[in-house]
Amino acid sequence: MKQAATWQSIRAEGLRRIHDGLWAPGARIPDEADLAGEFGCARATVNRALRSLAEDGFLERRRKGGTRVALTPVRKARRAGSSMATGLSRMIWRRCRTTWLPRSNCPPDHACAT
């Protein structure tokens, strides 16, 4: 028996399709019911995945108008405590010459200002 997809795996697949150009900017994506049939899960699971992509600015959702890929993906601010807010608060940034980079991207032999 095939295991039903989680909303996170559907979100990852949707993001892959956007990045690979299978879902072009401005194009309407399949209905939730069609995607639920494709992934073998409930429509509510697909709804949660698409909602997450919309919150991150990759999709534009309109009631009675369907869901389209955003023309220019923009990461939108989320409420406090969300996964994005938590992830950003955990990042440690430092100045490396003239650029701000995550501390983990600094070469070990490079002397960065702290």
CATH code for the domain of 43: 1.10.10.10
Q: Does any domain span residue 1?
A: no
The reply to whether 13 and 45 lie within a common domain is yes
The domain tally of the chain equals 2
The reply to whether 20 and 64 lie within a common domain is yes
Q: Does any domain span residue 23?
A: yes
The reply to whether 18 and 60 lie within a common domain is yes
Extract the tokens encoding 44. Answer: 């509510």
The reply to whether 85 and 32 lie within a common domain is no
Q: Does any domain span residue 74?
A: no
Q: Is pLDDT of 109 > 80? A: no
pTM for the model? 0.62
Domain coverage including residue 105? 79-114
Question: Per-residue pLDDT tens for 53-83?
Answer: 999 999 999 988 899 999 876 655 555 444 5
The reply to whether 11 and 41 lie within a common domain is yes
Question: Per-residue pLDDT tens for 1-50?
Answer: 456 689 999 999 999 999 998 999 999 999 999 999 999 999 999 999 99
The reply to whether 87 and 63 lie within a common domain is no
The reply to whether 29 and 57 lie within a common domain is yes
Measured CA to CA in angstroms, residue 52 lies from 15, 23, 38 at distances of: 11, 16, 19
Measured CA to CA in angstroms, residue 17 lies from 21, 37, 72 at distances of: 6, 17, 15
- Say which amino acid occupies 109: D
At 92 the pLDDT is 45
Q: Does any domain span residue 96?
A: yes
- Residue 71 burial by Cβ neighbours in a 10 Å radius (0-12, 13-18, 19+): exposed
pLDDT bucket at 113, cuts 50 / 70 / 90: very low
